[in-house]
Structure 1
Amino acid sequence: MMTQAFYTGISGLKNYSAGIDVVSNNIANISTTGYRAYNAEYASLFEEALAGATSTVSPQSVGYGVRMQATAMSTEQGTLALSDRSTDLAILGEGWFGVRGDSNTIYTRDGGFNIDANADLVTNDGLHVLGTMGNNISADNVLTSILAEVALGDVNSVEKLRFPKNLTYPPEPTTTAKFIANVGVGYEPVTVGASVVDSQNNRNHLRLEFTKKAVQTPPGSQYDVRATVESLDGTTVYSTASGEVTFDGKGALASNTLTSINNNGSTIAINLGSGYDGMVSMDVPLVSGSSLADGTIGGDLQGYSISQNGEVLATFTNGKQSSVGKIAVFHFQNEQGLNRVSGTRFEESANSGKAFFYKDADGNNIIGTNIQNFRLESANYDMASGLTELIVLQRAYDANSKSITTADQMIQKALNMGA
């Protein structure tokens, strides 16, 4: 049995040495973005019974040393560090980013991403980030529709995300202009106006001038109205139109023949209201009128931002914003079963199960966590705990070394006795 002390001590040296390697690797990666620490777990080797059991005493036995049972991944949240890039992301909670090179999907907590020369969202070493595109960007980098949210596709249909550095928000020509004002009861012309947008991305001025007819037919009053669309500086007149407006005896709008005007290639519907909702003719002090016109001036991409639910939002110089894609966050039944490929990257295994997306109450795919931009997740390992664990393992290693030395001395004495 003295030789057994050798094997027991050697098992301790071997496994605690491996444990020191695990802790040392954790400490070495304390500054690695998205690093997942591993914890060494130990178990006793089988034991040999030396005596049969009695009714009151457990059987005597001797152990055969220790073995490393597993190196379990720590799933604790790492601290979030500030970054200066809007494409740097951190997952707050469960989940993994998916990235892809030429073949398999790799999963990582390292959200250090950037947009490369091909407009792809990639990792710092060129792997493509996966998600769902909004399909609202044309081949010539023009936004084709405004999306408040992009629905996350199926886990097997995720795609490489591409967000062009140059993106244009097309102009939306004005289609309707409504006017609200009082023309009074006098014969002085009254003018109201509205800012309108044409299809060439020009902001123009639509002016209405109301002139009371010289000859009135009671009850009520009648006006000539002339509409003009011109450039803001007044140097270019694009079109004019005329009509007649009639108010009843109480000043409410009764009829109007001016319904539309050409705005440098696009048509604007002119809405003067009805009844007292719009243009009126009343004997009260005149105040400035107002107008409401739709349409949006075009704009250029100002930048991208990412919301906490993974929406990639494009913001434009005209103040408009639209979602253009959604970053996928993958989940697993057993995160600790993932196989480490290298560094902070993992791949699914039989132990982890297949990647899946969470679903909301309506069955729609969701990321199931929060994402923060301008943030990176630090390693989820505590330096102080690591150094303490390193000391414990070192002492255990020294103790096993001492047990081998002791067993050697005992065997030497036994051999000397035989001599």
Structure 2
Amino acid sequence: MSSAMYTGVSGLKAQQTRLNVIGNNIANVNTLGYKSQRTTFSDVFSHTLRSATAPSRSSGRGGINPMQVGYGSKVSSIDTNMSTGSTQTTGDNRDAMINGDGFFIIKDGNSGQYKFTRAGNFSVDMEGNLTVNGMKVCGWQQYTTDADGKITYNTQTNIQPINLYEGNTVMPPKGSTIGQLAGNLDPSKKAHGAALDNIGSVPGTPDGVTTMTVYDDQGNSYDIQVKFSKCYTDASTSGTAKGSVALDKNGYTVTAGTNDKLKLAVDGGAQVEITIPPGKYESPTAFINAINTAVNGTPDLTGKVAAQLTSDGKLSFTSTATGDSSTVAVSDGTPPGALAAYIGTVTSDPGVTRSGNTSWFWQAVSASGDITVGSPSNGYLKFDSRGKLITGDAKFNPTPNLALKTKSGPINLKLDMSQIATYKNSDDTKVTAGTDGYAAGKLSDFAIGADGMVVGMYSNNQRQPLGMLALAKFTNPAGLEKIGDNLYRTTTNSGEFTGGVAPGAEGTGGLQGGALEGSNVDLAEQFSDMMIASRSYQANSKVITTSDSLMETVINMVRA
């Protein structure tokens, strides 16, 4: 009877421990990065009343199992569930959570002992130290930048507390060296010049204009306008109907098999024969409409070329894909002479070789008069018949070097216009510009990227790396010891801390900025476990009260 009472007591103690663990899980349901725990049990030593015996062939008796009475239960383990908790989006650039394995590395005071946490609610103290709950966050701050601007941190060096203010509170100014222009010039604009490299009289109103701000080495800003005017289109006329006799105003009669056919070749393609519907056309306009109907009824020409009247009443053909920058060759159909029957003899001009290219004139001027643009301050850009920029011709240099003069000194600016085009049927007919220079700026905020890089944001709209967070990786993270304040420390079963690794490397997770990791406690599961533990506690107490009743009966027998 007494052993039954002690067994019930062991059960009460085990279930009480389980309730303690459940209560702690529920209490930390909103704790950042908290990892829930569970309790497992094992039985205590069992008293053997009779040992087992093997079957005996000589006596013919079978084997007997051991007869044992257990002495209760005990807590076998309290395990930590290290799975990632829920994502809590905060919108604060200073927050970060780990999407996967790993721990932020914390240095508490000057002891040099590292501690570890999953909570990424970072802040900055008055000295610029990146902290969490007053403890310094560790990582790297030394980096290199290659020619393409790629930033690389040396993660093989020892980690150290990150100080965001050290040499970073003010960003020095940077003088402009490159002016980058990009966009699309409107190809529908009328050409103003007499040749690809001769604008003649510069138009008072440009066809396009963009403004860029340039900076000197002291951070002073100046506005430069770059104006664009369509100069010239070298449209091919060789073998076309341009220059032929005027159309007969009295109308034309088209007879099937006699004068109802002509051939067209667009932009160097194969010649395609079209057939004009027979009949009497009373006006040149009606005749033009009939030709276009025939063209659009021919699959190889549909949407590629259109007939039209010139200002002097002559017939011409234009590519509808590339406008005047096209090559449209026209010839007689079958039988020969059909085209001449209604517009005169068609002749080619083999002595004139035209490229179909288009040029634009550009001019750089001061927008406010406080800066002088030295030579060259203007030039030409050349585009092929499809609107793509042509490079390699010194007369049409898309990357000229501008010599700018200011009161504080000269600025040598490379004007890069290599990203400009003049594509037809584009919704975007605007050119934008910017330079690589900027004024001085003050650190105003910072953000944490997925790679762990801490990037500072400055008042001059520039960004600069301030450091990189390091993560710790352990062979058995469940073996870490909780020490409060969302912190862990290593144990003999967690594995040693061997140094920081970059987020996303060596099996660690990447970071998510503007978010925090919540607790991984499943509240419904905890309530269910609490009810089970409560019933088990009650059952064990019944064992004790029943044993007590039996002992009372025995005592009463003696009294009787």
| Letter aligned with residue 542 of structure 2 | K
How far apart in 2 are the matches of 1:405 and 1:91?
A: 51
Match of 1:164 in 2: 165
Kindly state the Cα deviation for residue 115 of structure 1 after the two structures are TM-superposed.
Answer: 1.4
Q: Secondary structure, in 3 states, of the residue corresponding to 1:131?
A: strand
What are the equivalent positions in structure 2 for 1:347-386 lying under 5 Å apart? 347-356=489-498, 368-386=508-526
Q: Secondary structure, in 3 states, of the residue corresponding to 2:497?
A: coil
Deviations 1:208-266 (A, max 9, x none): 99xxxxxxxxxxxxxxxxx9986x411x35685689x9xxxxx96399x9985655434
| Letter aligned with residue 87 of structure 2 | L
Match of 1:345 in 2: 487
How far apart in 1 are the matches of 2:412 and 2:26?
A: 68
| Letter aligned with residue 323 of structure 1 | P
Kindly state the Cα deviation for residue 194 of structure 1 after the two structures are TM-superposed.
Answer: 7.2
Kindly state the Cα deviation for residue 295 of structure 1 after the two structures are TM-superposed.
Answer: 3.2
**Residues 186 and 352 (structure 1 numbering): CA distance in 2 closer, same or farther, change over 3 Å?**
same
Among 532, 535, 551, the residue aligned to 1:392: 532
Match of 1:295 in 2: 436
Kindly state the Cα deviation for residue 27 of structure 1 after the two structures are TM-superposed.
Answer: 0.9
Does residue 1:16 correspond to 2:26, yes or no? no
Match of 2:464 in 1: 322
Kindly state the Cα deviation for residue 148 of structure 1 after the two structures are TM-superposed.
Answer: 4.2
Contact 1:153 1:365 (C-alpha < 8 Å) held by counterparts: no
Kindly state the Cα deviation for residue 206 of structure 1 after the two structures are TM-superposed.
Answer: 6.3
Match of 2:117 in 1: 108
How far apart in 2 are the matches of 1:179 and 1:68?
A: 72
Q: Secondary structure, in 3 states, of the residue corresponding to 1:111?
A: coil
How far apart in 1 are the matches of 2:114 and 2:491?
A: 12
TM-score, L = length of structure 2: 0.56
| Letter aligned with residue 59 of structure 1 | P
| Letter aligned with residue 412 of structure 1 | E
Does residue 1:128 correspond to 2:270, yes or no? no
Deviations 1:122-166 (A, max 9, x none): 11x311111111468xxxxxx9x9964442634x82111122397
Contact 1:83 1:376 (C-alpha < 8 Å) held by counterparts: yes
How far apart in 1 are the matches of 2:542 and 2:495?
A: 44
How far apart in 2 are the matches of 1:238 and 1:291?
A: 21
Match of 1:220 in 2: none
How far apart in 2 are the matches of 1:387 and 1:153?
A: 45
Q: Secondary structure, in 3 states, of the residue corresponding to 1:50?
A: strand
Kindly state the Cα deviation for residue 366 of structure 1 after the two structures are TM-superposed.
Answer: 5.9
Kindly state the Cα deviation for residue 67 of structure 1 after the two structures are TM-superposed.
Answer: 0.8
5+ residue gaps in structure 2? Answer: 55-62, 183-192, 228-362, 380-392, 419-430
How far apart in 2 are the matches of 1:15 and 1:376?
A: 35
Contact 1:261 1:270 (C-alpha < 8 Å) held by counterparts: no
Among 71, 92, 96, the residue aligned to 1:89: 96
Deviations 1:85-133 (A, max 9, x none): 221222221111111221222211121111121111111x311111111
Contact 1:111 1:376 (C-alpha < 8 Å) held by counterparts: yes
Q: Which moved more, 1:390-399 or 1:170-179?
A: 170-179
**Residues 121 and 418 (structure 1 numbering): CA distance in 2 closer, same or farther, change over 3 Å?**
same
Q: Secondary structure, in 3 states, of the residue corresponding to 1:376?
A: strand
Kindly state the Cα deviation for residue 183 of structure 1 after the two structures are TM-superposed.
Answer: 5.0
How far apart in 1 are the matches of 2:122 and 2:529?
A: 34
**Residues 186 and 87 (structure 1 numbering): CA distance in 2 closer, same or farther, change over 3 Å?**
closer
Match of 1:283 in 2: none
Kindly state the Cα deviation for residue 333 of structure 1 after the two structures are TM-superposed.
Answer: 0.8
Contact 2:101 2:507 (C-alpha < 8 Å) held by counterparts: no
Kindly state the Cα deviation for residue 367 of structure 1 after the two structures are TM-superposed.
Answer: 7.5
Kindly state the Cα deviation for residue 379 of structure 1 after the two structures are TM-superposed.
Answer: 1.4
How far apart in 1 are the matches of 2:46 and 2:522?
A: 35
| Letter aligned with residue 131 of structure 2 | V
| Letter aligned with residue 531 of structure 2 | I
Contact 1:177 1:292 (C-alpha < 8 Å) held by counterparts: yes
**Residues 403 and 152 (structure 1 numbering): CA distance in 2 closer, same or farther, change over 3 Å?**
farther
| Letter aligned with residue 170 of structure 1 | P
**Where is the strand percentage greater, Structure 1 or Structure 2?**
1
How far apart in 1 are the matches of 2:551 and 2:181?
A: 108
Among 68, 73, 95, the residue aligned to 1:66: 73
| Letter aligned with residue 4 of structure 2 | A
Q: Percent identity?
A: 25
| Letter aligned with residue 395 of structure 1 | R
Among 293, 305, 311, the residue aligned to 2:447: 305
| Letter aligned with residue 107 of structure 1 | F
How far apart in 2 are the matches of 1:95 and 1:146?
A: 31
Question: Alignment RMSD, CA only?
Answer: 4.2
How far apart in 2 are the matches of 1:396 and 1:208?
A: 84
Kindly state the Cα deviation for residue 38 of structure 1 after the two structures are TM-superposed.
Answer: 1.4
Match of 1:268 in 2: 412
| Letter aligned with residue 549 of structure 2 | Q
Q: Secondary structure, in 3 states, of the residue corresponding to 1:408?
A: helix
Kindly state the Cα deviation for residue 416 of structure 1 after the two structures are TM-superposed.
Answer: 3.5
Q: Secondary structure, in 3 states, of the residue corresponding to 1:112?
A: coil
Contact 1:146 1:322 (C-alpha < 8 Å) held by counterparts: no
What are the equivalent positions in structure 2 for 1:233-244 lying under 5 Å apart? 233-234=368-369, 236-237=370-371
Aligned residues: 370
Q: Which moved more, 1:169-178 or 1:98-107?
A: 169-178
What are the equivalent positions in structure 2 for 1:112-261 lying under 5 Å apart? 112-123=121-132, 125-134=133-142, 148-151=150-153, 153-154=155-156, 157-164=158-165, 167-175=169-177, 183-184=197-198, 186=200, 196-204=214-222, 232-234=367-369, 236-237=370-371, 253=395, 260=403
Q: Which moved more, 1:381-390 or 1:368-377?
A: 368-377
Kindly state the Cα deviation for residue 368 of structure 1 after the two structures are TM-superposed.
Answer: 2.2
How far apart in 2 are the matches of 1:291 and 1:74?
A: 54
Kindly state the Cα deviation for residue 4 of structure 1 after the two structures are TM-superposed.
Answer: 1.1
Kindly state the Cα deviation for residue 389 of structure 1 after the two structures are TM-superposed.
Answer: 0.8
| Letter aligned with residue 296 of structure 1 | G
5+ residue gaps in structure 1? Answer: 137-142, 210-226, 246-250, 278-289
Contact 2:448 2:513 (C-alpha < 8 Å) held by counterparts: yes
| Letter aligned with residue 107 of structure 2 | R
Match of 2:39 in 1: 40
TM-score, L = length of structure 1: 0.73
